[in-house]
C-alpha cells in the first residue's frame, strides 16, 4: 500500500527545486561555453550501429565454424561495448535536442563544453572482424543473381550514414549560455519535476476520481520537463543538458487548463495562456510546472488521498511506498552501471533492469538466463541472493560482498546461488551492495580474458586472485564516484 505522505514530500521537493531553479535562471548573468547536443541525431546513429551489431552476430552464426564462433562473438561484443556510453546517456536523457551541453565533474563543480568523447567512441566501431564474412555474403548474393544493392554495399552505406550523423553532431558547434552552476541546478530541477509528474502519471488514487484524472493529465507534461533539462552520469562524468527556451505544445496547454477545471483551482501562470508552438523561457516553464505539482500536493493533503503506483529511476522501477534504502540501492546500482558501462558487453548492458516493491528489490544483471539478484530487507539487514551458474564469478562475488559490504556469505554451487546477509542500515551500506552488484555484469568475460590463449594458459588460482583484485578496485572506484553523484 502506498504512503501518501511520501508522494506529497516528493512533489513538494520537486516544486521547491523548480521554483529555485526558475529564479536562479532569471537572475543569471553568466556566459559559460557549451557544446550543442542534437541528441535526436545521436539516437539515429546508435540505432544504425545496433543494427550492424546484430548483423555481425548473424554473420558469425551463419558462416563461422562452431569451434571458432565464441572467439568471434567476443570480439564483436567487446567492440560493441563502445555503444554503451551513448546508450546510457540516451536512456537517462532521451532523444531531445539541447542547445546547451556540458561535461562536468561528478559533483557538478567543474564543467567544460564537450560531447566529443561520446561521438569518438561510436566512431571507433568498425566490426572489422566480420569484414571477410560481409564479402562472403555479398559474393553468395552475386552467385544467386540477386539484383539491386548487394550486402557489401548495404553494409558500407549503413556505416556511412552513421558517420554522417556523427559528423553533424560534431559540427553542431559551441555556444554561450548561463553559468555552469545554474545549468546544473536547472537540469536537476527539471529531472525532479519530470520524476514527480511521471509518478503522478503512473499512480492510481483510491476513491478520488478527480485526482486520478489529474494524474493522467500529468503524463502529457513529463516530456516538457525533460525538454528543459536533464543530466546523465556517463563515462565517469556528469553530463548536463539545458534548453534556455522550449516550445509548448497543445497537449501541454490543455493539461494545465483541464487540471485547473477538474480541481477548481488556477494552475499555471503562462503556459495555460500560451499558443501551441510558442517559445517560453526555461524559467517560465519550470515555474509553471512547479505550481502544477504544488497544487496537486495540496489537494492530496487536503483530501487525504491514498495513491498506488510506481516511479522510474533510471533502469529501476520503484513502487510507491517501497523501502527507501532499497530504492537508494537500486538507484546507486543504476548510476554505477552508467558510470562504468564500457566494462560490459552491449548484449548484457541492454538486458539490465531493476524493480523495487515493498521490502524486496530484484535486479537483472545480464543477458544470460537467470543472471540476477534478489535483495530482501529484514530490519537492518539485507538478505542477498545472487544467481549465477558460473562458479568462478560466484567466487569473486563472494569475496567482494564479504570484504566491501561486510556480508556473511554461503555459496551453494549445486543451486547456482550465492546467499549473503549484509548490513543495510544506511545509504552508505546501500551504495556498497549496489557497487558490488554492478561488477557482476560481464564479469565472466573479464575473467576469461585473464586466462589468455591455450598456449599461455595460467593457473586457475592465479586467474581468480587477479580477477578479484581487479574487481575490488572497480568496486572501490564505484563507491567513491557514487558518494559524489548521490551527495553522500
Q: What is the CATH number of the domain that holds 379?
A: 3.90.1150.20
pLDDT of residue 13: 94
Q: Which cell is 354 given? A: 531493476
pLDDT of residue 488: 55
Same domain assignment for residues 433 and 399: yes
pLDDT at position 2 over 60? no
Among 267, 284, 308, residue at a domain's last position: 308
Same domain assignment for residues 112 and 19: no
Span of 48-62, 280-294, 300-314 with lowest mean pLDDT: 300-314
Element (H, E) at 32: strand 32-38
Residue pair 357/322 in contact by the 8 Å Cβ criterion: yes
Q: 198 pLDDT band (50/70/90 cuts)?
A: very high
pLDDT of residue 486: 81
The bridge status of strand 111-112 relative to strand 307-308 is unpaired
How far apart are alpha carbons 160 and 49 in whole angstroms? 11
Same domain assignment for residues 481 and 334: yes
pLDDT in tens, 44-62: 999 999 999 999 999 999 9
Among 282, 308, 334, residue at a domain's last position: 308
pLDDT of residue 331: 95
Task: Please give the average per-residue pLDDT across 424-440, as a whole number.
Answer: 97
Q: Which residue has the higher pLDDT, 368 or 4?
A: 368
Residue 102's DSSP bridge partners are: 240
Summary mean pLDDT of the chain: 92
Q: Which cell is 16 given? A: 521547491
Residue 65, number of CB atoms within 10 A of its CB: 7
How far apart are alpha carbons 457 and 450 in whole angstroms? 9
Percent above pLDDT 70 for the chain = 96
Percent above pLDDT 90 for the chain = 78
Q: Which cell is 439 given? A: 561488477
Same domain assignment for residues 44 and 105: yes
pLDDT in tens, 109-123: 899 998 888 999 999
Which structural domain, as residue segments, surrounds residue 106? 32-176
DSSP 154-203: HHHHHHHHHHHHHHHHHTT-EEEES-HHHHHHHHHHHHHHHHHHHHHHT-
Q: Which cell is 421 given? A: 546477509
Same domain assignment for residues 56 and 145: yes
Same domain assignment for residues 26 and 83: no
pLDDT of residue 4: 41
pLDDT at position 298 over 70? yes
Among 113, 146, 176, residue at a domain's last position: 176
Same domain assignment for residues 214 and 284: yes
Same domain assignment for residues 317 and 441: yes
Q: Which cell is 223 given? A: 516530456
Same domain assignment for residues 282 and 293: yes
**Full-model pTM:** 0.87
Task: Please give the average per-residue pLDDT across 375-390, as a whole number.
Answer: 97
Tally of domains in the chain: 3
pLDDT in tens, 454-476: 545 668 888 999 999 999 999 99
Task: Please give the average per-residue pLDDT across 284-303, as a whole number.
Answer: 95
Task: Please give the average per-residue pLDDT across 52-74, as a whole number.
Answer: 93
- What does the DSSP 8-state code read for residue 150? -
Q: Which cell is 159 given? A: 556505416
Same domain assignment for residues 340 and 472: yes
Q: Which residue has the higher pLDDT, 149 or 420?
A: 420
DSSP 281-331: EHHHHHHHHHHHHHHHHHHHHHHT--EE-EEEETTEEEETT--HHHHHHHH
- What does the DSSP 8-state code read for residue 48? H
Residue 444, number of CB atoms within 10 A of its CB: 20
How far apart are alpha carbons 137 and 400 in whole angstroms? 46
Same domain assignment for residues 357 and 280: no
Same domain assignment for residues 465 and 331: yes
How far apart are alpha carbons 440 and 363 in whole angstroms? 11
Q: CA distances (Å), 32 to each of 106, 179, 230, 377, 434, in order?
A: 18, 5, 18, 45, 35
The bridge status of strand 316-319 relative to strand 353-357 is parallel
Task: Please give the average per-residue pLDDT across 420-447, as a whole number.
Answer: 96
Span of 15-29, 59-73, 390-404, 430-444 with lowest mean pLDDT: 59-73
Amino acid at each position: 500500500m502506498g504512503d501518501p505522505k511520501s508522494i506529497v514530500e516528493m512533489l513538494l521537493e520537486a516544486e521547491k527545486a523548480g521554483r529555485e531553479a526558475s529564479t536562479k535562471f532569471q537572475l543569471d548573468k553568466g556566459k559559460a561555453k557549451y557544446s550543442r547536443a542534437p541528441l535526436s541525431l545521436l539516437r539515429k546513429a546508435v540505432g544504425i550501429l545496433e543494427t550492424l551489431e546484430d548483423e555481425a552476430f548473424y554473420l558469425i552464426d551463419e558462416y563461422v565454424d562452431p569451434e571458432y564462433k565464441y572467439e568471434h562473438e567476443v570480439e564483436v561484443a567487446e567492440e560493441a561495448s563502445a555503444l554503451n556510453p551513448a546508450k546510457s546517456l540516451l536512456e537517462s536523457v532521451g532523444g531531445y535536442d539541447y542547445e546547451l551541453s556540458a561535461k562536468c565533474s561528478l559533483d557538478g563543480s567543474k564543467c567544460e563544453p564537450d560531447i566529443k568523447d561520446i561521438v569518438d567512441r561510436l566512431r571507433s566501431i568498425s566490426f572489422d572482424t566480420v569484414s571477410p564474412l560481409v564479402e562472403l555474403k555479398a559474393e553468395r548474393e552475386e552467385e544467386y543473381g540477386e539484383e539491386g544493392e548487394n550486402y557489401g554495399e548495404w553494409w558500407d552505406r549503413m556505416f556511412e550514414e552513421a558517420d554522417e550523423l556523427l559528423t553533424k553532431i560534431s559540427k553542431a558547434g559551441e555556444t554561450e549560455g548561463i553559468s555552469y552552476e545554474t545549468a546544473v541546478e536547472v537540469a536537476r530541477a527539471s529531472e525532479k519535476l519530470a520524476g514527480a509528474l511521471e509518478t503522478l502519471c503512473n499512480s492510481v488514487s483510491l476513491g478520488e476520481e478527480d485526482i486520478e484524472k489529474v494524474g493522467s493529465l500529468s503524463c502529457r507534461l513529463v516530456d516538457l520537463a525533460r525538454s528543459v533539462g536533464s543530466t546523465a552520469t556517463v563515462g565517469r562524468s556528469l553530463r548536463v543538458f539545458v534548453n534556455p527556451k522550449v516550445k509548448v505544445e497543445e497537449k501541454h496547454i490543455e493539461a494545465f487548463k483541464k487540471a485547473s477545471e477538474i480541481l477548481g483551482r488556477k494552475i499555471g501562470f503562462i503556459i495555460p495562456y500560451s499558443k501551441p508552438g510558442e517559445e517560453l523561457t526555461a524559467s517560465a516553464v519550470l515555474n509553471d510546472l512547479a505550481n502544477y505539482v504544488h497544487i496537486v500536493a495540496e489537494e492530496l493533503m487536503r483530501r487525504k488521498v491514498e495513491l498506488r503506483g510506481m516511479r522510474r529511476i533510471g533502469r529501476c522501477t520503484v513502487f510507491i511506498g517501497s523501502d527507501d534504502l532499497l530504492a537508494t540501492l537500486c538507484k546507486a546500482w543504476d548510476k554505477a552501471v552508467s558510470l562504468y558501462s564500457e566494462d560490459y558487453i552491449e548484449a548484457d548492458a541492454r538486458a539490465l533492469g531493476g524493480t523495487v516493491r515493498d521490502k524486496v528489490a530484484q535486479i537483472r544483471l545480464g543477458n544470460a538466463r537467470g543472471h540476477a539478484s534478489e535483495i530482501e530487507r529484514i530490519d537492518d539487514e539485507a538478505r542477498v541472493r545472487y544467481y549465477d551458474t558460473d562458479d568462478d564469478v560466484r567466487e569473486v562475488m563472494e569475496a567482494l560482498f564479504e570484504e566491501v559490504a561486510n556480508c556473511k556469505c554461503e555459496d551453494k554451487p549445486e543451486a547456482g546461488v550465492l546467499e549473503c546477509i549484509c548490513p543495510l542500515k544506511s545509504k552508505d551500506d546501500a551504495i556498497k551492495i549496489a557497487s558490488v552488484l554492478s561488477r557482476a555484469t560481464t564479469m565472466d568475460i573479464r575473467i576469461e580474458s585473464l586466462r589468455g590463449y591455450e598456449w599461455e594458459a595460467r593457473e586457475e588460482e592465479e586467474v581468480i586472485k587477479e580477477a578479484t583484485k581487479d574487481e575490488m578496485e572497480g568496486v572501490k572506484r564505484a563507491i567513491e564516484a557514487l558518494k559524489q553523484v548521490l551527495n553522500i
